[in-house]
Amino acid sequence: MVAASRHRLLVLCLGGTLLAAGGGARGDETAKGVLSEYQIKAAYLYYFTTFVDWPSETYSRTAETVVVGVLGEDPFGAVLDETLRGKSVNSRRLVVKRFANIKDARDSQVLFISNSRRCASTSTSPPCSAPISRSAPSS
């Protein structure tokens, strides 16, 4: 039991590291035999679904699918679809859906939030690209 927990923690830490890693490669910009950032992220999203113990109330029907959603601009191209094609988890087929807003994405079991949607600018918060700085207290 402890070994399984350690294995899951290792996989999650490795996946988090891969997701946090930078790079500008897209799915179609790889050299032969080299995986792109988004091929690795697509694989991580798949393996993440295999480690989740979905609560019984997650699905109302046994034939339902596991929806892997992409919110915002899709950096994967066809890579995510190709990675998940034909795969299933606990007898549930994996499908990819793309969403423009969070309300539509509520039915996703796994959601990838692209850089275009990570922080929304509002009148009370700075845009994502704006530096956040604090001024020194005046004396």
Domains of the chain, by residue range, sit at: 2-53+64-117
d(CA 92, CA 49): 11
The pLDDT assigned to 75 comes to 94
d(CA 121, CA 80): 28
The pLDDT assigned to 123 comes to 46
For the chain, 139 residues long, give each residue's pLDDT as a single digit of tens: 444 544 454 444 444 444 444 444 444 444 577 899 999 999 999 999 999 888 877 776 656 889 999 999 999 999 999 999 999 998 889 999 999 999 999 888 999 999 876 655 444 444 454 443 334 444 4
Count CA atoms within 13 Å of residue 137 on its CB side: 1
Q: What is the pTM of this model?
A: 0.61
Distances 18 to 39, 44, 45, 72, 94 between C-alpha atoms, Å: 11, 8, 11, 20, 22
Decide: helix, strand or coil at residue 117. helix
